[in-house]
Amino acid sequence: MNAEALLGCFAAPACIVTQVSAGMIIGMLIFLVASGVTLIFGVLKVVNFAHGSFYMLGAYLALTVYGASGSYTLAVLAAVVGVGLFGTIFERFFMSRVYNADVLMQLLVCYAFILILDDVVKIVWGGDFLKMGMPREFALPPIKVWDGYVPPFYAFLTVFAVAIAVLVGALLRFTQFGKIVRAAAVNRQMVSVLGINTSLVYALIFGLGSMLAGLAGALAAPVRAAVPGMGFEILIECFIVTIIGGMGSMAGAFIAAIGIGLIRSFGSIGFPLASEGVMFAIMAIMLLVRPAGLFGRKAS
């Protein structure tokens, strides 16, 4: 615990700006992954434990495409489409077979894929840290905010993630597809009796959730080093966020993710060893005080 450093940072606007912007991108990445998990869980009632691995896949795909083409836009698109496709295939051929089995079976199918994907990444990209560096498109001077400087990419990432969240929310709320999805979440049988292909809906939702993970991976590539196993770390954070925010609540996940991001970033100054502990403590307190989470309806 280094209270002096922390207080020192709070006294300096430049430090606050730096830490908040760093915290925001951590939070936004967690949020994108968590929103994918939440979306899939909300409709399909299964938890994709392999979602972190999808995020990892997104990061590596983006790295490769950026390396080959030099275009970050292309890299992001490739990651989103690639991981989306992969997720759809995963859902159709593997996950859909254990919908009616118990949680254990679903967990094991995901676990198998975590093992396989980590190894595949090792074979294709090697086991060392890979860095993309700041994309050319963002090689701009930092933005001055208050007394501090924010890298343009950080600002872009934050705004973009929020925009995507709003977009997905609008898709679910205002479109015909959204109506079907929400109905299927409540009563799959009824929707399927009405002549709607619910298997297709499930595959699309799983694909959409996976695209969010792929996007998060692509956005993470410039600011984080890619390494096999990176998916698991974010998966844990994403679970904590879902528990704090409330199961199935996007808004809850959003707020909790920002909170965790800020704790991580300020924690790295003030309590580097304990920032993980603080995260867990918040989760534990939440479970005691409000088992359903910030915005959750019912815990169990």
Partner 1 sequence: MTARMENIIGILLAVAVTAATLAFGGKALLDVLMRLAIFGLLALSLNILVGYTGLVSFGHAMFFGLGSYTFGLLMQSGAVSIPVAALLTLVAALVWGGVVGMFCIRLDDIYFSFLTLAFQMLLYSIIVGFVSLTGGDQGLMGGIPRPPFLGLDLTDPRQLFVVTMAVFVTCVLIIRQIVQSPFGFALRMIRDNAERARFLGLPVQRYKLIAFVLSGLFGSISGILMSLYVSGAYPNFAFWSTSGDVIFMIILGGITVFLGPLIGAAVFLLLNDNITRMTEHHGIVMGVVLLAVVLGLRKGFLDLLDDWWRARAGAVR
Residue with tokens 């990892």: 56
| Phi, psi of 27, rounded to the nearest 5 degrees | -60, -45
Stretch that binds partner 1, among 21-29, 81-89, 160-168, 284-292 (CB under 8 A): 284-292
Is the Cβ of residue 219 or residue 240 nearer to partner 1 in the bound state?
240
Is the Cβ of residue 15 or residue 37 nearer to partner 1 in the bound state?
37
DSSP summary character for residue 226? B
Q: With the C-alpha atoms ordered 107, 109, 111, 117, is the resulting torsion angle positive or negative?
A: negative
Count CA atoms closer than 13 A to 292's CA, side-chain side: 7
Is the Cβ of residue 226 or residue 283 nearer to partner 1 in the bound state?
283
Stretch that binds partner 1, among 8-16, 70-78, 156-164, 275-283 (CB under 8 A): 275-283
Stretch that binds partner 1, among 14-22, 170-178, 251-259, 272-280 (CB under 8 A): 272-280
Q: Quick one: which of 39, 57, 16, 88 has its CA closest to 266?
A: 16
Beta-sheet strands, E only, within the chain: 143-145, 148-150
Residue 8 neighbours by CB distance under 10 Å: 13
Is the Cβ of residue 155 or residue 278 nearer to partner 1 in the bound state?
278
Q: Quick one: which of 151, 145, 123, 138 has its CA closest to 22?
A: 151
Is the Cβ of residue 107 or residue 145 nearer to partner 1 in the bound state?
107
Residue 276 interacts with partner 1 (CB under 8 A): yes or no: yes
Cα 223 to chain centroid distance, Å, stands at 15
Looking only at residues 115 through 134 of this chain, which bind partner 1 when binding is defined by CB under 8 A?
Answer: 115-116, 118-120, 122-123
245 near 259, Cβ under 8 Å? Answer: no
Smallest gap from Cβ 182 to partner 1, in A, equals 21
Stretch that binds partner 1, among 21-29, 68-76, 105-113, 198-206 (CB under 8 A): 105-113
What element of type H or E holds 22? helix 13-44
Residue 232 interacts with partner 1 (CB under 8 A): yes or no: yes
* Count of residues near partner 1 by CB under 8 A: 43
Interface with partner 1 by CB under 8 A: which residues? 46-47, 94, 97-98, 101-109, 111-116, 118-120, 122-123, 232, 236, 239-240, 242-243, 247, 273, 276-277, 280, 283-284, 287-288, 291, 299-300
